[in-house]
Structure 1
Amino acid sequence: MKPGWFTVHVVNRGVAWLTRRGVSVWGSRILAVRGRRSGAWRTTPVNVLTLDGERYLVAPRGHVQWTRNMRAVGGGELRLGKRVEAFTATEVLDDAKADVLRAYLKRWKAEVGIFFAGVGPDSTDEELRAAAPRHPVFRLTAVAAATDA
């Protein structure tokens, strides 16, 4: 499902504007990932979920350009103001997504629930597993910054 005009032109731009200036809105970051064909940096606002000490990116709108790029390049950057954090990404298998999707929906259902076709934080594991193939999930691992010796 494509986001509506208001989401694209008002909400996403507003969140991106604030995030670029260092103000996180409910965990927002700017995801930067290289294009799988062009190699150029592509950016989009995302919500980073922390669950049991691990960080995840969930694609509420499904298999979109950033998810395809992430699969191809295996990582990217999370940006908040001038802070840039490089990471590698591992895609989570569908059978292992239920807890992540539940936690994500618990936090951001008001913002993204429309994309989950009736599935919510109170859904059964079976219902969440049925929705899992439509929503890519990536586990993030921070890349240590290089230091001058």
Structure 2
Amino acid sequence: MPSTHALTPGRLTRRVLNPFVMWLNRRGLSLHGAHTLAVRGRASGALRHAPVNPLELDGRTYLVAPRGHVQWTHNLRAAGTAELRLGKRVRPFSAVELADREKPRVLRAYARRWSEVGRYFSELGVGRDATLPQWRETAEHFPVFALTFHSPAGGGTGTGARDAAESGDAAGSGERAGGADGQATFDPVRAGGPEPGAGRP
């Protein structure tokens, strides 16, 4: 049975910290590497937003969900495409979810890069010093997506000419990305809410 592991963010993270991180992002400021993920909701098709920490590793960019199978992971899995945003810089991409056997080195690199999210991984007995076999045993609980960008990084508007109004969007109950998961990274940034009946990052 597929993992439904997800850690639900607290009210402070959902209502204050995540919106603050995305507010900074809209002004071109990145807190500890955070970007805003803009992805279509799998039911409504409306844009949903979540703070995430893209990981650069061996020339590739990855999104990791340390809180588990949260809302933005469900939306990205369904949509297959999304955008990373920071100020006026909009980077459309296609996402491919990694198989569990491909995740360990990415998960280990992520845990070492953002040690502040260690408590999310430690829920399942892994952390920055875990071995690759240990990461392999828990890989199913942490979605990882490899990104392929559609155009060179640069200023653009992509799907989000209306980003200023939507980036802090808190609507979209069963499919909302913001406040339900991101990769979110350190507590404010890595928050993301679980799918009803599932769980979150």
| TM > 0.5 | yes
Larger RCO (CA under 8 A, 6+ residues apart) = 2
The superposition leaves residues 60-109 of structure 1 with CA deviations (integer Å, 9 ceiling, x where unpaired) of 11111111111111010000011111000000111111110011101112
- From 76, 79, 89, give the equivalent of 2:85: 79
- Segments of 5+ residues of structure 1 without an aligned counterpart are none
Q: Report the counterpart of residue 34 of structure 1 in structure 2.
A: 40
**TM-score, length basis structure 1:** 0.91
Q: Report the counterpart of residue 119 of structure 1 in structure 2.
A: 126
Q: Report the counterpart of residue 97 of structure 2 in structure 1.
A: 91
User: Is 1:13 the equivalent of 2:19?
Assistant: yes
Q: Report the counterpart of residue 178 of structure 2 in structure 1.
A: none
CA RMSD of aligned residues (A): 1.3
- Segments of 5+ residues of structure 2 without an aligned counterpart are 1-6, 153-201
Q: Which has the higher helix share?
A: 1
Distance of 1:38 and 1:26 partners within structure 2: 31
Q: Report the counterpart of residue 150 of structure 2 in structure 1.
A: 143
SS across alignment from 1:50: strand
Q: Percent identity?
A: 56
Distance of 2:14 and 2:76 partners within structure 1: 21
Which aligned runs of 4 or more in structure 1 are off by greater than 6 angstroms?
Answer: none
**TM-score, length basis structure 2:** 0.68
Distance of 1:21 and 1:65 partners within structure 2: 25
The superposition leaves residues 23-62 of structure 1 with CA deviations (integer Å, 9 ceiling, x where unpaired) of 1122211000001111100001000000001000001111
Aligned length: 144
